[in-house]
Amino acid sequence: MCSNIATKASNKMWGGRFEQGPAETMEEINASIDFDKRLYKQDILASQVHAQMLGRQGIITEADAKTIVSGLDTIRAEIDAGTFEFKRSLEDIHMNVEARLSELIGAPAGRLHTARSRNDQSVTDVKLWLRDKIDEIDGQLLALIDALITKAEANADTPMPGFTHLQVAQPVSFGHHLLAYVEMMGRDLDRLRDTRKRLNECPLGAAALAGSPYPIDRHWTSEQLQFDRPTENSMDSVSARDHVTEFLFFAAMNAVHLSRLAEELVNWNSDGFKFVNLTDAFTSGSSIMPQKKNPDAAELLRAKPGRIIGSLNALLVVMKGLPLSFMKDMQEDKEPLFDAADNISLCIRVASRLIDDLEPYKDNMLAFLDRGFATATDLADWLVVALDIPFREAHHITGELVALGVKSGRSLSEIPLEEMQAVEPKISDEVFAAISNETSLAARKCFGGTAPENVKAACIRARERFLTTSKG
Ligand code: ARG
């Protein structure tokens, strides 16, 4: 027969007005325990603080408050030990904990839910969880920034081809290239810390939506839970999810940045480039082609924005057009949050290791530079400065020399002086020093340019900016 017909007794926690229990599929769509059990530590902590506040304010007795707090300690230990039985019929972490509390301590458990609602409870739990996660990811990002700076310092003098349109453009320092990612990670870190600042207001006590008629002390609970202040408006407290959305934007942006790094690693490691060698630790073999060593970790790093942007998109779409205040729709904030947080943290940790292991094949980079006529711009600039030729004309002359090189399979510095002079008679042999990679790099010492001395100074500044100043 149809298993969907409700036969259970109504819910003990809220079922006073119900004659029947929920349909099975109702339970399936309604329950969040399968994923929000992850919030148990935060849920228990917030409940303990809430109970203490009720006791301090004389809303419940101090004795009941104490019994509740120690009962909750027992529950935390049970969940830690894996002996706690989570029940879908109890919907979520809040009711699973409260139901067990009532088994453990009896009547006082029924007083815990005075002056609060699952609406303020749920958002408080998520904020506490997210705050810890943000601090964890903050440290992981700093480790990645450290790895990038360390590698950049070691390679301030390593010339590599810089690309535009994935065509060889000009020589750059490999260290300079890595420092570009330090800037991206630094801005992402800023966004992450900004998110933390804004989320750190305590919703507890907003209750269902209107606040509470009991003489609660929201400032005290907020302080105990290390929030900066209680949230200002009770309706906003239970309705807002922008702290989650902002974090998801941070994660999406950071994942996109890391995917660009990953794509570069895949390119650099490919047979066509061979600028770097990805080590055995982060590559894998093929089940059929014995010679293969595939850059799987970098490829997965490249792919992760798919699900992380999906999470951001999912929550924005859930929230769009929702009237105030709490709606069950908002329970859908948690899975995207957990999935994105887990994955961005993994991506950052993997990226750190990939950077730690990165060793450039300097000779291959040099050969690539030559083949790509990377110092053609330097040649044109030399014609301008040394021979006083207008830049447009210098550009054209250089283009002719490049064409000569392409036709004859030689790099610019392999074209003999006489052949150059056949194109432009005033060219002298000083040109060869002007078109070396070293000269090209060293010349770009404007602030932010790729000159090795700049790169070394930029590494020192980056350490100061990100790794030695206190968290801001
Ligand atoms: N499990 C819910 C959530 O994750 C808790 C809030 C439920 N509140 C309610 N009135 N049904 O958001």
Query: Residues 55-64: what's their mean pLDDT?
Result: 98
Identify the weakest region by mean pLDDT among 15-19, 72-76, 95-99. Answer: 15-19
**How many Å is the Cα radius of gyration of the chain?**
31
Contact 98, 113 (CB under 8 A): yes
More confident site: 6 or 212 = 212
| Active-site residue, selected from the candidate residues 270, 284, 286, 428 | 286
Active site residue 345: no
Ligand 1 pocket, Cβ-based, cut-off 6 angstroms: 32, 36, 92, 118-119, 122, 328, 330-331
**Count of C-beta atoms within a 10 Å radius of residue 102:** 17
Query: What pLDDT is attached to residue 373?
Result: 95
* Ligand 1 centroid distance, CA of 328 (Å): 6
φ, ψ of residue 326 to 5 degrees: the values are: -70, 140
Query: What pLDDT is attached to residue 96?
Result: 98
DSSP state of 288: S
User: pTM value?
Assistant: 0.94
Active site residue 165: yes
pLDDT band at 469 (very low <50, low <70, confident <90, very high): low
Query: What pLDDT is attached to residue 2?
Result: 43
Q: Which two tokens stand for residue 434?
A: 């002007």
**Helix, strand or coil, per DSSP, at residue 172:** strand
Report the candidate in 133, 135, 138, 132 with the shortest Cα–Cα distance to residue 189: 138
**CA distance to 9, 19, 244, 298, per residue, from 6 (Å):** 9, 10, 35, 50
Query: Residues 383-412: what's their mean pLDDT?
Result: 96
State the DSSP string of 125-150.
Answer: HHHHHHHHHHHHHHHHHHHHHHHHHH
Q: Is the pLDDT of residue 440 over 80?
A: yes
Query: Residues 48-62: what's their mean pLDDT?
Result: 98
Question: Residue 253 region, left (φ>0) first, then alpha (ψ -120 to 50), else beta?
Answer: alpha
**Count of C-beta atoms within a 10 Å radius of residue 385:** 11
Nearest atom (ligand 1) to Cα of 32: 1
252: Cα separation from own chain's centroid: 7
Query: Residues 267-281: what's their mean pLDDT?
Result: 93
Maximum CA pair distance of the chain? 101
The DSSP element (H or E) to which 208 belongs, if any, is none
pLDDT band at 409 (very low <50, low <70, confident <90, very high): very high
Query: Residues 8-17: what's their mean pLDDT?
Result: 77
